[in-house]
Structure 1
Amino acid sequence: MKEAELSPHKQSHSRGTGSADVVGFYDDDTGSIQYLVSDPQTGKGALIDAVMGFDPAHASIDPQGVSKIIEYARDTNIDISWILDTHPHADHLMASWYLKQRLGAVNAIGEKVRDIAELWRKLYHLPDAFRPERDFDRLFGDGETFKIGKLPVRVMLTPGHTLGSVTYVVGSDAAFVNDTFMQPDVGTARADFPGGSAGQLYDSLQSILALDDETRLFVGHDYGTDSRTEPAWESTVAEQHTSNAHIGGGTSKQNYVKQRDARDKTLALPDRMLHVLQMNLRAGRAPEPESDGKRYLKIPLNRFPKETA
């Protein structure tokens, strides 16, 4: 596998008491942003949506990228106490299990991962494959709270991209909004994966827009645009409310669903999806070795036929 591709980080500094320091690390292979969020007062931190390297052509796994983030945390005296994911990702391999073994930190995700696991047990025809209670230490319910150091964190259920996606609202002014919003010049995330819903996504977007205007919003992905080649991942509620390409200025739910569904019909499946979901529903852990000592993935055939014009 090639050298891990991890773009230079960008930092969003704490605004004062009760506000988190946030560092975003861009994964070039998948356009994913992984976040190191920390409490400046205590030095305690969390990794959100950390990416394990995965090469779909060779079905090979590589921890180099996430290892560099661990090194950064150590160099800046951040003690990672939480490993958080917003949902079982379809476009990258979760590093949750690897980080849990390496750091001994608590790993967590939203509790509706149970429902997502049930859906994918049927699609993979693996009735006994996924047990989220075994692979995650915490399964958060909507409205549940915990702390990163002294910073309070509130969990918001924000479904649509998946039926169990959650947003983490950290401290006084930061929200990690997963695959709901993208940058204002791009719009919003897709909602066509199994269990997804454009209508639910619209409602989730509105719940995020109900946060304070100056809340920093940290998105799950960015791919740039024709006019913006550098990846970006921070905006505010006010910016999204005013200028989001899909819902800025008050797009109705009916119009949003119509345009989101039409756009999603043009999108191909992520090239890693059928590989990584089989592991992500185990917190990124590969299936158990078989009798030859090797691990194998099961890929369903013709369950997601490519649409033709």
Structure 2
Amino acid sequence: MPDPAIAAATRQVLDMLDNPAGRPCVHSFFDEKTFTATHVVHDPATRAAAIIDSVMDYDPASGRTSYASAQKIVDYVRENRLDVIWQLETHAHADHLSAAPWLKSQLGGQIGIGADIVQVQQTFGTIFNAGTHFTRDGSQFDHLFTDGEQFSLGTLRATALHVPGHTPADMAFVIGDAAFIGDTLFMPDYGTARADFPGGSARMLYRSIRRLLSLPPATRLFLCHDYKAPGRDSYAWETTIGAERAANVHVHDGISEDAFVDMRTKRDAGLSLPNLIMPSVQVNMRAGHLPEAEENGVSYIKIPINTL
């Protein structure tokens, strides 16, 4: 049965390949502390822009937050006179804290994430004992995207794709001929994302990846992370569907679902948790807002003992 969401995304990519002058402009910022790539994508015709997967600086030793990394984005947006329409999150990250609310206060834009964030909120709201004041309905975000949802960025057409597996709520945003795919895939020489977080699934991740890989080979892919594969000296976060299909070390064409699940499951069993998972999830499940301050006016990050 044809996949209507992929069909819509494919049409917009092909239209953009026929009209390269109108393709989206992408400028990326890499935070080496968290190995995170934040992308600013804009329509060259209208200068309407989206900021995807932003980073708030966080010092785990002191618990202090700051915005030096996000300020670079503010400076870029203002220097280029961009009009920020969206602050997009591909998922509730477990390795960095989102700067979306602060960037919204500086530049505007609705904070959007996949509708299945409610599953993540329910799971981690329980793990962190967030209490009844923490609503688990996604209302902390301005917009919840559904699979196949069409939206626009100026004159550019865009499609939201649900790509669960790394988490239940992962979304990819295909804007013009560029796909922003979060933590589903890494550079071809590094492979794929882990699938062992609560609600994750290696089998679901494989199916989501194969869904993405059905987009046209020339589709530009912008990744959320890079860790420099062995033998590579520089960080990289842009590739193509064709390059991933040909050479991804975990999931290139010809790798079966069962083989991938076996590899991913064994690999994940030896991974430690991300260094910033405790603060990241508690903040990101709240759309980048800190936990509600307690009676002394201080906000706290909880660490569940012997739980994760």
Tell me, yes or no, whether TM beats 0.5. Answer: yes
Q: CA deviation at 1:131?
A: 4.1
Q: Is the 8 A contact 2:121 2:285 kept in 1?
A: yes
- Residue 285 of structure 2 is aligned to residue 260 of structure 1: no
The percentage of aligned residue pairs carrying the same residue is: 40
Q: For this pair of structures, how many residues does the alignment match?
A: 290
Unaligned runs of 5+ in 2: 1-16
Per-residue CA deviations over 1:180-206 (Å, capped at 9, x if unaligned) read 110000111111111110000000110
Amino acid at match of 1:120: F
Distance 2:20 2:80 in 1: 18
Q: How does 1:1-309 map to 2 (within 5 A)?
A: 16-128=20-132, 129-131=134-136, 133-171=138-176, 173-304=177-308
Distance 1:101 1:131 in 2: 24
What is the Cα-based RMSD across aligned positions, in Å? 1.3
Q: Is the 8 A contact 2:74 2:106 kept in 1?
A: no
Per-residue CA deviations over 1:86-112 (Å, capped at 9, x if unaligned) read 000000001112122222311110000
Equivalent in the alignment of 1:8: none
Q: CA deviation at 1:250?
A: 1.3
Q: CA deviation at 1:217?
A: 0.7
Q: 1:108 to 1:132 in 2, by over 3 A?
A: farther
Q: Is the 8 A contact 1:183 1:232 kept in 2?
A: yes
Unaligned runs of 5+ in 1: 1-13, 305-309
Distance 1:56 1:145 in 2: 38
Distance 2:135 2:260 in 1: 34
Distance 1:132 1:62 in 2: 28
Q: Which has the higher helix share?
A: 2
Distance 1:202 1:226 in 2: 23
Distance 1:18 1:132 in 2: 37
Distance 1:39 1:106 in 2: 17
Distance 1:198 1:299 in 2: 26
User: 3-state DSSP class of the match of 1:101?
Assistant: helix
Amino acid at match of 1:272: L
Which structure 1 residue ranges, 4+ long, deviate > 6 Å from structure 2? none
Distance 1:96 1:130 in 2: 19
Range that drifts further, 222-231 or 120-129:
120-129
Distance 2:193 2:302 in 1: 27
Amino acid at match of 1:52: M
Distance 1:273 1:258 in 2: 25
Q: Is the 8 A contact 2:166 2:194 kept in 1?
A: yes
The two structures have a TM-score, normalised by structure 2, of: 0.91
Amino acid at match of 1:136: F
